Amino acid sequence: MSRTVSLLFVCVLLGLPAGASRVTVPGTTVSVDVPSGFVPMPKSVIDSKYSRGSAPPTAVYSTPGPSWDVNIAFALRDQALPTGDLAPVQAALERSIAPTPGLRWVSRRIVRSGGREWVDLQFWVKGLDTEIYNHLRVTREGQKTLLVTANMTKAQYPKYARQLDAAMNGLK
């Protein structure tokens, strides 16, 4: 079997499109396989789309506009997570998400990926006109906190869920 066919076979098994490309999250040592067809979201769109809440993400890769409705977003925050077990961080994140309208948990756990521990939360929430699937991972990045979020609308879930989960599970 040729190397190209082997690579294609592995990508299909992992749910990654053959054209996925590994990118380093800006300002970090973490990298991720961005699914084929995803492009960097322009800063003007990031500022508009993420205008609610705290500071917008550092970078977002998305299906191209105009709707930009399937995303992998990266936010590096200037706050260090406490040393030791991440269970208290997980509990605090769960409490902060709990009041979100229409919250339905899929999974809540701590995982090891790419040589580091991550809080891993998967859940559905009610958006303005549809349900939104969110896959959040949080880890230490030196004296900062890295948040990685993959999200998509309910309509896009069947098409993109495997690709985004594979990207999140491939964080290194």
CATH of the domain at 116: 3.40.1000.10
The structure's pTM equals 0.84
5 occurs within a structural domain: no
What's the number of domains the chain is made of?
1
Q: Is the pLDDT of residue 21 over 70?
A: yes
2 occurs within a structural domain: no
Residue position matching structure tokens 């964080």: 171
49 occurs within a structural domain: yes
Residues 6 or more apart whose CB falls under 8 angstroms from that of 68 comprise: 41, 45, 49, 62
Tell me, what DSSP letter sits at residue 88?
H
Which residue range(s) make up the domain with 63? 21-169
64 occurs within a structural domain: yes
15 occurs within a structural domain: no
Average pLDDT over residues 43-60: 85
124 occurs within a structural domain: yes
Over residues 113-122, the pLDDT tens digits come to 989 999 999 9
Q: Is the pLDDT of residue 152 over 50?
A: yes
107 occurs within a structural domain: yes
The C-alpha atoms of residue 52 and residue 59 are separated, in whole angstroms, by 16
Over residues 83-101, the pLDDT tens digits come to 999 999 999 999 999 999 9
Average pLDDT over residues 28-50: 91
6 occurs within a structural domain: no
